[in-house]
């Protein structure tokens, strides 16, 4: 897959963007993958919004299968580097579900919820991850002093996210849960689209080699 957004590849088209979000079982806290399960997932892209419900195993398997069908593009999350993707990977390991999700720790990034823990770089099949939270935090958040929470930022630019108390999601019905998770995936994708094409450079493209013995200084 080509690597847009580098000095060697100017002018390339922005890859297709797919927003991704999960919701976890808030009846058990929702933040610790050793005690809480994934209860919903959503994808949002050119195909519209898709919400995936069912047992946790079904959610993980169906999400993985759907992402395998999408082909090259960007998988956009909001704090997915610090939460969603590590959480999904842990739950898949607990259940013995094989995923096309590859993650590596990124020593430069930190998890907002756990500053002592590294966030991750990731790809899921042919989709390269781009964390919208990291994107906005890097410049807009620091310049304007914003927390870069998904919903406040979405409202700030005129979007209308679905808002529920996340701590009590387990008390809401399936329809409300579905609307909420779909909204989060859609908001993440839309906020990143508004930063294109420059945002492409923030995606988790493979890091350059540190061994320069075989490089010439030109683009390969």
Give pLDDT tens digits for 160-195: 999 999 899 999 999 999 999 999 999 999 999 999
Packing angle of the helix pair 56-70, 85-95 (nearest 10 deg): 120
Confidence at 208, pLDDT banded by 50, 70, 90:
low
Q: Are 195 and 113 in contact (CB under 8 A)?
A: no
Predicted confidence at residue 147, as pLDDT, reads 81
Angstrom distance (rounded) from CA 187 to CA 97: 28
Residue 114 is predicted with a pLDDT of 58
Higher-confidence residue: 212 or 120? Answer: 120
* Domain ranges (residues) in the chain: 17-202
Does residue 19 register a pLDDT over 70? yes
CA gap 166, 23 in Å, rounded: 9
Token pair of 118, please? Answer: 């590294």
Bridge partners, 73 (sequence order): 127
Per-residue CA distances from 5 to 50, 70, 130 (Å)? 28, 21, 12
Please check the confidence at residue 37 and state whether its pLDDT lies above 50.
yes
Is the pLDDT assigned to residue 199 strictly greater than 70? yes
Q: What is the DSSP letter of 199?
A: G
Topology classification of domain 17-202: Nucleotidyltransferase; domain 5 (3.30.420)
- The predicted-structure confidence for 94-133, as pLDDT tens digits, reads as follows 999 999 999 998 877 655 555 556 789 999 999 999 999 9
Q: Between 179 and 141, where is the model more confident?
A: 179
- Measure the CA–CA gap between 97 and 67, rounded to whole angstroms: 15
Per the listing, tokens 């995606």 go with: 203
Residues 6+ apart with CB under 8 A from 41: 20, 21, 22, 23, 51, 52, 59, 60, 63, 181
Report whether pLDDT(3) > 80. Answer: no
- Model pTM? 0.86
Question: Residue 195's CB: how many other CB atoms inside 10 A?
Answer: 16
Q: What is the spatial distance between Cα 56 and Cα 197, in angstroms, rounded to a whole number?
A: 35
- Has residue 40 got a pLDDT over 80? yes
Instruction: Write the CB contacts of 18 (distance below 8 Å, at least 6 apart in sequence).
Output: 43, 44, 45, 67, 70, 73, 74, 75, 76, 127, 189
Residue 97 in tokens: 């579900």
- d(Cα 148, Cα 146) in Å, to the nearest integer? 5
CA distance 166 to 13: 36
Question: Which position has the higher pLDDT, 8 or 117?
Answer: 117
Position 77 pLDDT exceeds 70 = yes
From first CA to last CA, the distance across the chain in angstroms is 14
Enumerate the β-bridge partners of residue 17.
Answer: 74
């Amino acid at each position: 897959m080509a690597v847009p957004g580098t000095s060697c590849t100017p002018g390339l088209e922005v890859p297709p963007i797919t927003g991704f979000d999960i919701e976890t079982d808030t009846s058990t806290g929702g933040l610790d993958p050793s005690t809480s399960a994934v209860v919903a997932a959503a994808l949002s892209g050119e195909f519209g919004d898709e919400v995936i419900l069912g047992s946790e195993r079904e959610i993980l398997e169906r999400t993985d299968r759907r992402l395998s069908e999408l082909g090259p593009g960007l998988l956009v999350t909001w704090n997915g580097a610090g939460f969603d993707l590590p959480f999904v990977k842990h739950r898949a390991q607990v259940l013995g579900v094989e995923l096309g999700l590859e993650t590596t720790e990124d020593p430069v990034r930190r998890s907002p919820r756990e500053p002592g823990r590294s966030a991750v770089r990731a790809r899921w099949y042919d989709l390269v991850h781009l964390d919208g939270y990291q994107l906005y935090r890097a410049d807009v958040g620091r310049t304007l002093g914003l927390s870069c929470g998904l919903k406040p930022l979405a409202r700030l630019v005129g979007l209308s996210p679905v808002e529920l108390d996340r701590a009590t999601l387990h008390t809401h019905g399936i329809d409300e849960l579905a609307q909420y998770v779909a909204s989060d995936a859609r908001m993440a994708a839309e906020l990143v689209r508004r930063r294109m094409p420059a945002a492409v450079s923030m995606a988790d493209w493979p890091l350059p080699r540190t061994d320069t013995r075989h490089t010439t200084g030109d683009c390969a």
